[in-house]
């Protein structure tokens, strides 16, 4: 009978694999953030243009006009 402190070997292997992948993901995240930071510093006008464009698109998508919003249950 196993106690709560003992895990089967396959569970230990799975936990080790998850930890390894988590470390790899953290490294990839740091590299991605560094790359983004470098791009933003190298291309401030393009970055600002994209941000303004995305803000405009999001504002259009999120602003619901009563005349164009369908009402459920009416014909």
11 pLDDT band, cuts 50/70/90, is confident
Q: What is the model's pLDDT at position 7?
A: 74
Q: What is the model's pLDDT at position 1?
A: 47
Average pLDDT, the chain: 86
**DSSP 3-state of 38:** helix
- Tell me: the pLDDT tens digits for 32-47? 999 999 999 999 999 9
Average pLDDT over residues 67-71: 60
* Cα gap 14→20, rounded to integer Å: 10
The percent of residues above 90 in pLDDT, for the chain, comes to: 59
């Amino acid at each position: 009978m196993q106690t709560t402190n003992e895990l089967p070997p396959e569970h230990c292997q799975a936990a080790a694999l998850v930890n390894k992948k988590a470390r790899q993901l953290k490294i990839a995240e740091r590299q991605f953030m560094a790359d983004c930071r470098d791009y933003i510093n190298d291309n401030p006008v393009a970055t600002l243009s994209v941000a303004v464009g995305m803000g405009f698109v999001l504002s259009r998508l999120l602003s619901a006009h009563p005349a164009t919003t369908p009402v459920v249950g009416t014909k």
